[in-house]
Amino acid sequence: MHNFITGLIFLVSFFPSNKLDNCSEFNSFHPVRSDIMLQIVLKSYGYYDGKIDGNFGVISKNALINFQSINNIDTDGLVGPQTCNLLLKKNSIIKNRPNKSNDTNLQFEKNKQNYSQEIYDAQTILKELGLYTSSVDGINGPSTKRSIKSFQTKAGLVSDGVLGPLTKSALEKGEESYVISENTSSVIESTSSNTETVSQSSALDLRNYDPSKTCIVGYVDVNGIWVPDPCFKPVFVYRFGNTAQVNSQQELDAYLADRWSLEKEKTYVTIGRVKTENYTDGINSPVNGMIMPSSANNKIVIGIKNDNNVRARPQSGPQNADAVVEVLVEGGMTRFINIFYESDTTYHGPIRSARPTDPTVLRPLDGVLVASGATGGLIPEILDIGVPVITDRRPEYFRISSRKAPHNLYADTFKLKNIAISKGYKKSNNPQPLFPWGDPNINSWANGKNLTLKFSSQTSTTWSWNGSSYVRTYYDAYKGSSSGNVHNWINQNGTTGQISFPTVIALLCEPYIHPLQLPSVKTVGEGRAIIMHGGKMIDAKWKRGSNLDPFHIVDSNGNNLYIPKGKPWISLVPNTFLPTFDN
């Protein structure tokens, strides 16, 4: 159960806390980063039986006080150091054990009898693949069988929900066992040596559908499994390339609330290289279109993750980078990917961990991702996309004494590029341009003096034209309630300045939750694009067919548009929030 709870607590991305006293203030890697996370943890230990909604009211606070009292720490109802430290020590936590009914005890004994290590191992793999969303408990319930069926379909096996030898063998291979076609010949699994070839279809499983039976309200049982309503005709829902069958209206409502869709996701075809204007490979930078110095250290593209926590500011690196990409992370906050090709710095930081969106930006540049680790299972996925990863190396990385961990990890881009080359990560001599760089006549564009971009209820940024560039201010709920905070950079000598860029590119993207429960946005597909340069702006559209593609920019009629050359700040903004202008 607690493995399941550990996974669930990362759902914070859609329920960020308005409070400042979450455990990330004491430990940046702490899983309890919001009110909803705390509710989930308290529920898992038997202290909270209310609704998991992120509303930390009287019931939630009383549950916290009860937790603190039973565990012999200060009963102040606040998320302080004692509480946060204890939550990291699962084996030391005293669970609340209210009196259970006989029925519950009987169910518990029944679950123990039905436990299977093989099912437990299969559930663990299925959860890593994003196919299983219930509790990893070793019980072969309906949710487990549905997940096995989904995997079998992807692996070209008969979708019978049986964990036979062929399915177990395929599970060991993970995604490598997937077949390209969804309609294929499959093999029925058996404990004997006999096999039979059958035709595989994607039909709904209607075995529980019988409108003549008594209708029920769908609910989640003690094993975390949805109980079907026989009167509800099952439907498929889709998200992030995954398909799930739902068997009650309540289950459907829960899936839709978690951003699944009744419509199958679009598939896209690789578009290829963007058109450019007055651009020459090897002369112009693929990252910003500018002519590169003849002495440029343009051996390879690297993208370094830059922390944007309140304790990480001012950062060192954005002012030196050839381009910066801002992406959404947990808690409604953002982090940066500072891209270096022709430029370098000996002092870049703080460096933080990788996220799912990072490789999708670097792949078209044949770039290397530089980070400080990642959530378990993510780095292999990044490598599968085709983006090498460098993480936590010495002497390329170093820690500074003026800040506390984890906000004190820095690096030298010269050394990072050298190690990337020595490891054979270079894929091309002249990476393709990331955007359609050119020399458009911006006089025909609309006025573009100020642009505010909202990433979440916790974070928004404003770019204001000062006559020569766009300067950055921000609102951060973790810092305080005020907006208009000047965002500065700092160099090794202590010199500071406001972050400013000649070009701002805002790409509105569809948000989603990655199977590892990490908030992300989709950068393949299409969406609204806002380009600001020289006090002017154009409202356009971006499109990509795959992670190999650069970002194509077109007008409402599909005609190709050029972006002025110059170092860009690229914001990947969830399209659930509209940008605002003050021109």
Residue 192 has a pLDDT of 33
Task: Tell me the average pLDDT across 58-66.
Answer: 84
On whether the CB atoms of residues 552 and 436 are closer than 8 A, the answer is yes
Q: How far apart, in whole angstroms, are the C-alpha atoms of residue 567 and residue 489?
A: 16
CATH for the 302-581 domain, from 3.40.50.1370, 3.40.50.720, 1.10.10.10, 3.50.90.10 = 3.50.90.10
Phi/psi of residue 565, nearest 5 degrees: -70, 140
Q: Is the dihedral of CA 288, 289, 291, 294 positive or negative?
A: positive
Residues 6+ apart with CB under 8 A from 548: 270, 363, 364, 386
CA 430 → CA 280, 287, 569, distances in Å? 10, 11, 22
Write the pLDDT tens digit of every residue in 447-464: 999 999 999 999 999 999
Least confident stretch, 92-101, 259-268, 349-358: 92-101
Residues 6+ apart with CB under 8 A from 173: none
| Higher pLDDT among residues 540 and 232, named by residue | 540
Task: Tell me the average pLDDT across 147-153.
Answer: 85
**In this model, does residue 357 exceed pLDDT 60?**
yes
With H, G, I as helix, E, B as strand and everything else as coil, classify residue 480: coil
Phi/psi of residue 81, nearest 5 degrees: -55, -40
Domain spans of the chain? 2-92, 117-189+196-257, 302-581
**In this model, does residue 348 exceed pLDDT 60?**
yes
Instruction: Pull the structure tokens for residue 148.
Output: 């096995």
Q: How confident is the model at residue 194 (pLDDT cuts 50, 70, 90)?
A: very low
Residue 188 has a pLDDT of 34
CA 235 → CA 245, 251, 265, distances in Å? 6, 11, 15
Task: Tell me the average pLDDT across 229-254.
Answer: 84
Over the chain, what is the mean pLDDT? 84
Which CATH number does 2-92 carry? 1.10.101.10
Secondary structure letter of residue 433 according to DSSP: P
Secondary structure letter of residue 324 according to DSSP: E
Q: How far apart, in whole angstroms, are the C-alpha atoms of residue 220 and residue 240?
A: 23
Helices (H) and strands (E) in the chain, counts: 12, 30
With H, G, I as helix, E, B as strand and everything else as coil, classify residue 72: coil
Q: How far apart, in whole angstroms, are the C-alpha atoms of residue 178 and residue 170?
A: 8
On whether the CB atoms of residues 471 and 498 are closer than 8 A, the answer is yes
With H, G, I as helix, E, B as strand and everything else as coil, classify residue 197: strand
Least confident stretch, 278-282, 325-329, 378-382, 549-553: 378-382
458 Cα distance to chain centroid: 17
Task: Tell me the average pLDDT across 414-443.
Answer: 96
Secondary structure letter of residue 174 according to DSSP: G
**In this model, does residue 8 exceed pLDDT 50?**
no
CB atoms within 10 A of CB 569: 25
**In this model, does residue 249 exceed pLDDT 70?**
yes
pTM to 2 decimal places: 0.60
Q: Report DSSP letters for 79-95, one per residue.
A: --HHHHHHHT-GGGPPP
Write the pLDDT tens digit of every residue in 332-345: 999 999 999 999 99
Q: How confident is the model at residue 240 (pLDDT cuts 50, 70, 90)?
A: low
